[in-house]
Chain A
Amino acid sequence: MNDWLERLSQLPQQWFDSPIAAIALTLGAYFFGIRLFKLMHRPTWCPPMLIAAILIAVTIALLPIGIDDYNRGAGWLMLLLGPATVALAVPLYQQLPQIRALWKPILLTLPLSATLAACYAVIIAATMGAPKEVLASLAPKSVTSPIALGLAEELGGSRALLMGALLTTGVTAIFGVEWLSRVLRIRDPRLIGLALGINGHALGTVRAFEISSAAGAFASLGMSLTGAFTAVVLPLVWHLFY
């Protein structure tokens, strides 16, 4: 009997030796998050991702495994980030005629919007006395995660803090776009999509696809252009100051 209990207590460690348990936990938490989100009548301030992330963190804290065990397994899931980014070519191509007609105003406004997205956060944090490491983790906060991770690494930021910043930014951007577009009476799906993609990266883009496919395509465009622009400009500007 004792022998049996001991084997049972080793089970979590054994599970997390392979990536399967981490992937199952992530997917399970995701669907649970969506379920709870719907039960709570879709609060904008608490997206399913946040519920799911808290659930995973609690599970890891309760089980005799560490965050590193989980990260190792979840890394396999993150491999899908690459193909998922390439898949954005589909909505992008579908909206190509629209985008081609608007390339001039987009090219005029997007770099400025992307710069402001990074500058506001860095300036606010710097005036409140945040150290360089924190600033480096906040600067790429509006950029889609594969680009942002590379950027934070290059600037010397913290990976974990950046991911937290990405989630907070995504949630705030979705709330902000929906609230401010109502206040400003903006109903153009292209404009709402662009604003969601520029400020709210992948989270905003997924939300834009729920509004309409046109909004989603413009969000993908906003997200990828913001990513490309920030990836090139941010390291240059950063090294001027630090």
Chain B
Amino acid sequence: MSVLRGFLWLLIFLLLGQAVVGLFRLPMPSGVIGMLLLTLFFGYRGGMNPDVVHISQPLIAMLALLIMPGVVEIFFVAGQFADQWAAILTALIAGTLLSVLSSLLLMRRYLPASDAPGMAAGNAGHE
């Protein structure tokens, strides 16, 4: 029952997110707004609802599963982009590797080393 109660909490915050998106005409999906609202709510209450914690783990693990149905379609419309594949794949693979490299370098430059035990040891390597 706890899982269902947690799910209801998530649905309520999703609906609240939808309301905020609609009222303020935000160019963002209601899920993201709902997530921010729920984080704020936890902060206001000073703790998390255990029901929500129970449901969140399996749902987050499902996020990867949930893009799969959309991916299937690409195999059926591939012919439409037949002459573009070289450009598309180069852009995606080279572009992503480049952006990973620049974000890692940027973050390493500007993120201060953590003082938490355990992480500090890991950080010492590159400081």
Q: Interface of A with B (CB < 8 Å)?
A: 22, 26-27, 29-30, 49-50, 52-54, 56-57, 60, 67, 70-71, 74-75, 77-78, 80-94, 96, 102, 105-106, 108-109, 112-113, 116-117, 120-125, 128-131, 134, 138, 141-142, 144-147, 149-150, 158-161, 163-170, 172-173, 176-177, 180-181, 184-191, 194-195, 198-199, 202-203, 205-206, 209, 214, 216, 224, 227-228, 231-232, 235
Give bound CA distance, A162 to B91, whole Å: 13
Task: Report 21 cross-chain contacts, Cβ distance below 8 Å, ordered by A residue.
Answer: A29-B68, A81-B63, A82-B14, A85-B63, A109-B103, A109-B106, A109-B111, A112-B106, A117-B99, A120-B91, A128-B87, A130-B91, A141-B96, A161-B77, A163-B70, A173-B100, A180-B101, A181-B104, A206-B60, A209-B61, A227-B32
B102 and A113 form a contact (CB under 8 A): yes
Give bound CA distance, A109 to B65, whole Å: 30
In chain B, positions 23-56 with a C-beta closer than 8 Å to chain A are 27-32, 34-36, 38-39, 42-43, 48, 52-53, 55-56
- Give the Cβ gap from A228 to chain B, nearest Cβ, in Å: 6
A93 and B42 form a contact (CB under 8 A): yes
Q: Name the residue of chain A whose CB is nearest to the CB of B31.
A: A85
Which residues of chain B are near A54, meaning CB under 8 Å? Answer: 75
B69 and A87 form a contact (CB under 8 A): no
In chain B, positions 96-127 with a C-beta closer than 8 Å to chain A are 96-114, 119, 122-123, 125-126
A56 and B72 form a contact (CB under 8 A): yes
- Give the Cβ gap from A232 to chain B, nearest Cβ, in Å: 6
Which residues of chain A are near B106, meaning CB under 8 Å? Answer: 109, 112-113
B60 and A87 form a contact (CB under 8 A): yes
B88 at the interface (CB under 8 A from A): yes
A86 and B38 form a contact (CB under 8 A): yes
B39, B43, B96, B114: the one contacting A176 at CB < 8 Å is: B96
Q: Interface of B with A (CB < 8 Å)?
A: 7, 10-11, 13-14, 17, 27-32, 34-36, 38-39, 42-43, 48, 52-53, 55-57, 59-77, 80-81, 84, 86-114, 119, 122-123, 125-126
Give bound CA distance, A49 to B27, whole Å: 29
A147 and B32 form a contact (CB under 8 A): yes
A195 and B39 form a contact (CB under 8 A): no
Contact (A158, B30) CB under 8 Å given A67-B72, A81-B66, A130-B87: no
Which residues of chain B are near A70, meaning CB under 8 Å? Answer: 69, 72
B111 and A190 form a contact (CB under 8 A): yes
Contact (A231, B27) CB under 8 Å given A159-B70, A188-B119: yes
A49, A134, A202, A227: the one contacting B87 at CB < 8 Å is: A134
Give bound CA distance, A190 to B115, whole Å: 12
A120, A191, A214: the one contacting B104 at CB < 8 Å is: A191
B114 and A177 form a contact (CB under 8 A): no
Q: Name the residue of chain A whose CB is nearest to the CB of B109.
A: A109
Give bound CA distance, A205 to B119, whole Å: 20
Top 4 A-B pairs ranked by shortest CB distance?
A85-B31, A121-B95, A74-B69, A187-B122
- Give the Cβ gap from A213 to chain B, nearest Cβ, in Å: 10
Which residues of chain A are near B101, meaning CB under 8 Å? Answer: 176, 180
Which residues of chain A are near B62, meaning CB under 8 Å? Answer: 80, 84
Which residues of chain B are near A71, meaning CB under 8 Å? Answer: 69, 73
Give bound CA distance, A73 to B17, whole Å: 25
A147, A166, A180: the one contacting B100 at CB < 8 Å is: A180
Contact (A191, B111) CB under 8 Å given A138-B92, A202-B67: yes
